[in-house]
Amino acid sequence: MESFTTTHIKTSLTALGIPFESNEVELDHLRFKSFRRIEPHGIYYAEGRSHAGIRESLVLCTDTEGFDASNCLIRLSHPQLAFYKLMRHFHGKEGSAGVHPSAIVDPDAVIAPGVEIGPYCVIGKAELHAGVKLSSHVVIADNCILGENTVVEPHSTIGASGVAWVWDVETGERVVQPQIGGVVIGKNCFLGSDVSIVRGSVNEDTLVGDGTVIAHGTKVGHGCTIGAHNHFANNVSLAGNVSTGERCFFGSAAVVRPMISLAADTTVGAGAVVVSSVDVPHQLLMGVPARSTEPAKDKLSGVPKKNSNRTEQA
């Protein structure tokens, strides 16, 4: 793993436009490390947590009091945000644009410059905007649009066929409705591995708003409308025609029944089953069936904290 010096970090913070102050301790052989495994020569951020035991490391912090003198202390406004930006700066995946030879791409697909299509992907009559990155074994069906800089991890399917059917009362046959709509995914979205998004049923699309993050194993039903900057933890299930406002957060294994509408800034707890719509923003839904309460604290477990002095970035 690549290592860094304090000069590397300070130079990069300046390049990223992050103002800071620092002491004069100079260190080398630094690597990004977690508070769950504290070791010397780490790069850490201290934000509302104990820093006991950190030695000979670089620490991003808001308050320099109480640290061991062997540490390089860099004081700035948002340590966690700076830590993430630095990790992205040094360790962000840099793939190569183009189509892997093993991928299958419909000749009528519209592929913008700078798109990366990985091994064994299958692309139908879809539209992929600039900066889209598809890892291996991704399927993009017909009538799907992926916005700029959207990333899709392995074994995910965009535009899958949903299951809508009725019984033929005369023959006893199950009659399945063909689903002929599409999927529109906004800009700067991230879809983890094994995510399935079902296309719209007839003349509607399934919509995913800009900046939405969908973690591994999540399933989105036909005709859903997901607001901008939603966050889905792993294995969330949205049934068909669910509508969510902006900045909703869904904990692991949450389930939402069909036709539900959720207001902006709704938080659905892990394992909750939502059976009723919520039209008041900033509600916390918990339990089976889920009950609505106002969040009791500013920082909910698992929900990234919003900085009040900055706007959401696309």
pLDDT-based confidence at residue 177 (cuts at 50, 70, 90): confident
pLDDT-based confidence at residue 1 (cuts at 50, 70, 90): low
Tokens of 295: 């969040």
Tokens of 186: 């906004």
Residue type, 80: Q
Contact partners, residue 119, CB within 8 Å, separation at least 6: 100, 102, 103, 136, 137
Per-residue confidence (pLDDT) for residue 310, from 0 to 100:
42
Mean pLDDT, residues 259-263: 97
How buried is residue 251: exposed, middle or buried, by Cβ count under 10 Å (0-12/13-18/19+)?
buried
pLDDT-based confidence at residue 313 (cuts at 50, 70, 90): very low
Q: How far apart are CA 266 and CA 245, in angstroms?
A: 8
Per-residue confidence (pLDDT) for residue 199, from 0 to 100:
95
Sign of CA dihedral 223, 227, 232, 236: negative
Q: Which of 177, 148, 179, 144 is nearest to 158 (CA)?
A: 144
The β-bridge relationship of strands 116-117 and 231-232 is unpaired
pLDDT digits (tens, 9 = 90+) for 128-172: 999 999 999 999 999 999 999 999 999 999 999 988 889 999 999
Indicate the average pLDDT of the chain.
91
Q: Which of 130, 234, 134, 138 is nearest to 187 (CA)?
A: 130
Domain boundaries of the chain, sorted by first residue: 6-91, 98-293
Per-residue confidence (pLDDT) for residue 36, from 0 to 100:
85
Q: What are φ and ψ of residue 184, in 5° steps?
A: -125, 115
pLDDT digits (tens, 9 = 90+) for 222-259: 999 999 999 999 999 999 999 999 999 999 999 999 99
Sign of CA dihedral 260, 222, 217, 107: negative
Per CATH, the number for 98-293 is 2.160.10.10
Residue 50 has pLDDT above 90, yes or no: no
Per-residue confidence (pLDDT) for residue 92, from 0 to 100:
77
Report the percent of the chain where pLDDT is more than 70: 91
Residue 2 has pLDDT above 90, yes or no: no
Per-residue confidence (pLDDT) for residue 299, from 0 to 100:
58
Q: Which residue has the higher pLDDT, 253 or 179?
A: 253
Residue type, 99: V
Please list the residues that pair with 139 across neighbouring strands: 122, 157
Tokens of 275: 């059976």
